[in-house]
Structure 1
């Protein structure tokens, strides 16, 4: 399905066979909603599951002007408005986790629970150049130039060897991400910083990290859990896309977490 959100044609998929509470998944930089296919299938009998493509990703149009993570948070709020969702459980991975944190601060009354995976609360000054380099590489050399290094950060060698079909789909999406969409998102992440603000989050929070994540070390995700009162932290045997690489374990953790009384 397509809908215009804040002037941008946005693709979303809604699975509401169960007609239960809303559960929204937000994908990573260089990904699209398909990365959640398996997990959406797991939860759709008991939840109204929403997935969507971020600006400049998948089949969502590229933004006409620069944007920040706060704009991506507003996109989600507008999408929920259009679909008639007053509140949602929110799950975000990597860049999606940054958007989820921003949304929890911007719209605290609209979030039931917060689940973040393989993410950080902000880019330190020494890390800003990396985002500029990736943005420049996408614009100059295209996405193919970024694929090998990105996949090596995202997935362990063991997973890549054991699940070539899953890797192929993730690689296909990354390769066909629009360079300008990717670059603009890199610049948004470069400027992202919620450190010092997360102590105001009062929603139940689950933070998950991959033990072998070199791009976003587990300590960065654990720091978010430490900043939010009562947050739960879990470490999985995976690299950066821990919810995908350890999908069964992640689904079990998420299912147990969502069933806790709020």
Structure 2
């Protein structure tokens, strides 16, 4: 990891937190201060390791990362993808040992939040504390969809559902067009995510292309979803699990149900 000091845009995090709840000018300044120092992490480098202590959370400024576990036979299960604007390591910083690993899938830029800083923010800024809670709720919703994908969907539905989810998540942080985005995922990574063989992933991608559901340029890695409505119907995709969980118009007291 390389440490960088300088002016880093906090816009992506302010926009994301503000989608949950209104932030005061002071709270926005707190986020700006947190993003002044950044670390660049190379592709393939682990940031958090399973069964090791992690005393920090991270704000992901740019690039893609994966959360994963390794099983006894050496196989890898990718649990989720981490995208720009995401927070990770929050849970791990609260426990003695991490229960999974996080690795940079592409070169990434992150901002480190020591556990004691998180506690200070939660104690001093109610709205930021609530925004962190809602961010964790959205992460839980994403993990729930992954469980259903693996347990109750066939290969076609798993892959199509994931591609739609990634489109929607990237759109929420202005990193995708209406139907197109950069997809830095190899067939091996898709296989490790969806519990399929590489051969099965290859066959399923071909089926999606033949059905005129997607186009994927192998050189630029640009994915275009050609018929979102049809693919959503075929895969059972419902984007409501990613829709805004908070309501910026409510006060903190209303949000937590206080009298």
TM-score w.r.t. length of structure 1 = 0.30
Compare CA radii of gyration and give the structure with the larger one. 2
TM-score w.r.t. length of structure 2 = 0.30
Structure with more of its chain in strand, by fraction: 2
